[in-house]
């Protein structure tokens, strides 16, 4: 993902798209939906979200292509198997990424963190890192539970 972020020039495209097609009110709504609270700079947040999405949409197929080529060389697969393996691995990786991201977001939004961290107070960075790490740990547990019980996502 870092390689794609450094080499693919999509930042100007994202900036132009957000500036021309997304109003300030729309960006506030989207940012509030994603974050759960109003963002101080909603246009900048939307640009970051779209940049991350584009980076992911480029990086995952590229990673799948690299791994498919490596697997083809090491396993000596036939040439006509390459597109099928690349497509299936790309779709599988997108499904896994979507599931993990959705679980992380849903747990962050719907677990009652506001009881531990009231909104009107400030917290140390270590406290927020610990809360995020806890949410990540719960996400990993839920993800492993789901992938172990539903075979299509496991590989």
List pLDDT tens digits, range 96-133. Answer: 999 999 999 899 888 887 788 777 788 888 988 998 99
Are 49 and 34 contacting, i.e. CB atoms less than 8 angstroms apart? yes
Q: How far apart (Å, rounded) are the C-alpha atoms in residues 38 and 67?
A: 40
Distance of CA 94 to the CA centre of its chain: 9
Count the neighbouring beta carbons within 10 Å of the beta carbon of residue 27.
20
* Tens of pLDDT, residues 28-38: 888 888 877 78
In the predicted structure, residue 152 carries a pLDDT above the cut 80? no
Give the pLDDT of residue 14: 85
> What's the N-to-C CA distance of the chain in angstroms?
22
Query: Which structure tokens are listed for 140?
Result: 């990993």
39 three-state secondary structure: coil
Does residue 134 surpass a pLDDT of 90?
yes
Count CB-CB contacts under 10 A for residue 144. 11
| Residues 63 and 55: beta-carbon distance below 8 Å | no
**Burial status of residue 31 (CB atoms within 10 A of its CB: 0-12, 13-18, 19 or more):** buried
- Is the pLDDT at 153 greater than 60, yes or no? no
Identify the residue with better confidence: 97 or 149: 97
pLDDT at residue 23, rounded to an integer = 86
């Amino acid at each position: 993902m870092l390689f794609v972020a450094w080499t693919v020039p999509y930042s100007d495209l994202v900036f132009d798209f957000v500036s021309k097609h997304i109003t300030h009110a729309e960006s506030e709504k989207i940012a509030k939906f994603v974050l759960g609270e109003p963002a101080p700079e909603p246009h900048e947040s939307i640009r970051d979200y779209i940049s991350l999405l584009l980076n992911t949409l480029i990086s995952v197929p590229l990673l799948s292509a690299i791994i498919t080529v490596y697997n083809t060389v090491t396993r000596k697969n036939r040439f006509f198997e390459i597109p099928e393996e690349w497509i299936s691995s790309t779709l599988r990786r997108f499904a896994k990424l979507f599931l993990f991201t959705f679980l992380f977001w849903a747990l962050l939004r719907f677990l009652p963190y506001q009881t531990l961290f009231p909104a009107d107070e400030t917290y140390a960075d270590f406290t927020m890192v610990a809360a995020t790490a806890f949410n990540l740990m719960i996400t990993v547990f839920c993800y492993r539970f789901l992938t172990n019980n539903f075979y299509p996502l496991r590989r």
